[in-house]
Structures are given as C-alpha cells and as structure tokens.
Amino acid sequence: MEDDLRERLTKVEEREKSNTKRIDALELRTDTNEKILNDVDKSLSVTVEQIKNIAEDLKQTSINFKEAMMRSNNANNKETEILKERCNDLEKKYEKLDSKIEQETVGKDAQSWRDSKSKIVSWIISGVLAILAGALGISKFF
C-alpha cells in the first residue's frame, strides 16, 4: 500500500509540475495578450478620435462650402439683375434712337415731298401762265 501511495503521490507531483508549467505558460500568454489588447485599445481610441476630428472637419468644410455657394449665388443674382437693368436701359435707348431716326427720316421725306410738290405746282402755274400769255397775245407786249 505504501508503494501504491508513493506511486500515486509521484503521479500527483508530476501532474502538479505539468499543471504548473501549463499555468505559467498560460499566465505568460495572458500577460502578452493583455499587453496586445491594451495596445490595440489605445490604437483604436486614437483612431476613433481621429475619425471624430475628421468628421468635424468635414462638417465644417460642408458648412463653409454651402455658405460660399450661397454667397456666390447671391453675387451672381446681383450681377444678373444689374445686367438685366443695363439691357433694359439699352433697349430704351434703342427705342428712342429708332423713333428719332424714324421721325427724322419721315420728316425729311415729308419735307422733300413738300418741296417737290411746290416746285411741280410752280412749274405747272408757270406753264399755264405761259400758255395764257401766249393765247392772250404776247404780241401785244412786243
């Protein structure tokens, strides 16, 4: 029995040594894994913080872009209004010049017609007077 007990005790001691080695190896792995997890956690924290900063920058950039677009649109609208006003002014000037040219042209044509009409009438009257003078006898005047 004693031998049996010694044998068992030897087996238990061997198992204890084996288990101790395994536990030591597992503790070493656990420590290494904890260090790696801590490093990963720190890296992830830094990465998440950078992503937050990038998101904030993008948001601010988007707001700035929208404001710039609104300012640009407002400026373009103002320029368009100014160009419309200038176009309207030019159309009014064109209409005035067109009516002025038309009046001058019509006036000149009317005056030419009046002058031509009076010359024709004076020629006709001169011709009638010459015929009358001939019929009445120009001989009386010589």
pLDDT of residue 82: 92
142, pLDDT greater than 70: no
pLDDT of residue 139: 60
Express each pLDDT in 33-88 by its tens digit.
899 999 898 999 999 999 999 999 999 999 999 999 999 888 889 999 999 999 99
Is the C-alpha dihedral spanning 125, 131, 135, 137 positive or negative?
positive
Percent of the chain with pLDDT over 90: 31
**If you average pLDDT over every residue of the chain, what do you get?**
85
Going through 22-113 in order, the beta strands assigned E by DSSP cover: none
Is the C-alpha dihedral spanning 103, 106, 109, 114 positive or negative?
negative
End-to-end CA distance of the chain: 197
- CA–CA gap between residue 109 and residue 115 (Å, rounded): 10
- CA–CA gap between residue 129 and residue 123 (Å, rounded): 10
